[in-house]
A and B are shown apart, each in its own frame.
Chain A
């Protein structure tokens, strides 16, 4: 039992938690900047990046594909900012233009690659394959202290944990500047902040988180985690620091509860098959958002808790 858990469940759980946290953290700022769709946009634009990387490298390998995805995500981030500024249209429209165009380009490229006789698994991209990220050397809890066994950890785990730490470091370091420029960009500029560069850095960090999570757990979790935990957290509190704390709590809860429900939920109901963990994690985050929208203390416009009017 213990060995089963450490070998089969611990790695996907930790990877799921890291992915959820890495996406939810920048999601808080993106949501308040009305750029929450960026997760959606990035997880679509990685398709042409992956296909292009495959066509160039000629093999299905993680390294080139992640590189291709990252390059595509960064190109998309630059294009979105450029269109938003030069075209003077709202961020949502700029994202819509860029990600549909790039996704469509990716589909065309994919047809080319299919013609060459190799099948790229689109379903894998969508749902990820969290359950397959197992740790065969994980013979028990003691393996966590066993250097030999640790070397056998799925590479996705270290990658995702590293990205999560980098995202957390970025958020902590630039916290004050991010809050200021998110609330009042004009004033932030008069304080000498380079708000353009900061906004782009935020999107770039989100892109890195999205690509890493996309590789490990699929795009459904990415899209859900950028939006659902921060949106639910906003309904729980009227303070930025607490919102981020709530969002992290919701992200972890979604990952754990989603993974457990996907693995054991059907058994409890008398079915034999397990469900997709990624799908269940995203679903749980949506349900949490639903509860927050119904019951959250700060869900009224203007953030006024019930019983205390604006004036």
Chain B
């Protein structure tokens, strides 16, 4: 009996993606932002979602997570409907998506990552506080727990968001432009944390802007420009032909931007 369960679990591990999207279409107005996208992200890998501005990268993540309502499409996580798997999924939104003048301290924001543990009225216990402290240490922000979030630099704010996701102790980490507008030290700190997550067997999917760093940072690439272009290992998918298909005439410009930022 036990043996059978172990065997079954192993097969599921191999087959079922942490995030599988089928036929996802999202529209903000007349024109679809994401059109009929099929993609399965691979377990235990770091995947970059890459494409030009307005290609629907963030929209894809938000729709997959149910933050915005897609017109159509199916999203599963580990073979189950996403709503049932929320405890295993951590999300790092774009830094600019919130008002950093909000009256909260760094530790208050990280504590938000424990919402599913605490629930509506659960009491904050010393173990919760210890978890918050540990997550801040992992992103190099241990000394900032009591700081108001508006007093932080952009890179520090991004690290706080990452610490909040770490507090969720999830299996799948979805990040929306984690390297946008951050300093070099923060970029290094973030990529170290993400690689450590991968080393623990967790899955990382990040919307990424900087083409120059894709091969260094990621194992796999998902190219998107409203429709899915290609998904696979960096060596196979991150090719001039595929990039041309994703970026069209803008490729030269995008590459220059990427080289400058890298």
Which residues of chain B come closer than 8 Å to A9, judged between CB atoms? Answer: none
Closest-by-CB residue of A relative to B176 is: A186
Tell whether A187 pairs with B91 under 8 Å between CB atoms, given A176-B115, A239-B104, A302-B100. Answer: yes
Interface residues on A, range: 35 or more
Q: How far is the CA of A242 from the CA of B108 in the complex (A)?
A: 13
Q: How far is the CA of A180 from the CA of B89 in the complex (A)?
A: 17
Instruction: Give chain B nearest CB distance to A306 CB in angstroms.
Output: 12
Instruction: Give chain B nearest CB distance to A173 CB in angstroms.
Output: 7
Main secondary structure of the interface of A (DSSP, over half): helix
Tell whether A238 pairs with B105 under 8 Å between CB atoms, given A176-B118, A186-B62, A186-B67. Answer: yes
Interface residues on B, range: 20 to 34
Q: How far is the CA of A131 from the CA of B115 in the complex (A)?
A: 46
State whether A183 touches B109 (Cβ < 8 A). yes
Which residues of chain B come closer than 8 Å to A186, judged between CB atoms? Answer: 62, 65, 67, 91, 93, 97
Which residues of chain A come closer than 8 Å to B188, judged between CB atoms? Answer: none
State which residues 83-102 of B face A: CB under 8 Å: 83, 86, 89, 91, 93, 97-102
Determine whether B189 belongs to the interface, using a CB cutoff of 8 Å to chain A.
no
Cβ contact of A302, chosen from B86, B120, B150, cutoff 8 A: B150
State whether B65 touches A180 (Cβ < 8 A). no
Q: How far is the CA of A193 from the CA of B91 in the complex (A)?
A: 14
Determine whether A191 belongs to the interface, using a CB cutoff of 8 Å to chain B.
yes
Determine whether B80 belongs to the interface, using a CB cutoff of 8 Å to chain A.
no
Q: How far is the CA of A298 from the CA of B147 in the complex (A)?
A: 13
State whether B103 touches A176 (Cβ < 8 A). no
State whether B151 touches A191 (Cβ < 8 A). no
Q: How far is the CA of A237 from the CA of B152 in the complex (A)?
A: 17
Q: How far is the CA of A10 from the CA of B208 in the complex (A)?
A: 63
Measured CB to CB, the residues of A under 8 A from B are 32, 88, 173-174, 176-177, 179-180, 182-193, 234, 237-240, 242-243, 298, 301-304, 308, 310-311
Measured CB to CB, the residues of B under 8 A from A are 28, 62, 65-67, 83, 86, 89, 91, 93, 97-105, 108-109, 112, 115-116, 118-121, 148, 150-153, 164
Can you list 7 A-B pairs, Cβ within 8 angstroms, ordered by A? A189-B65, A190-B86, A238-B103, A238-B105, A240-B108, A303-B150, A304-B148
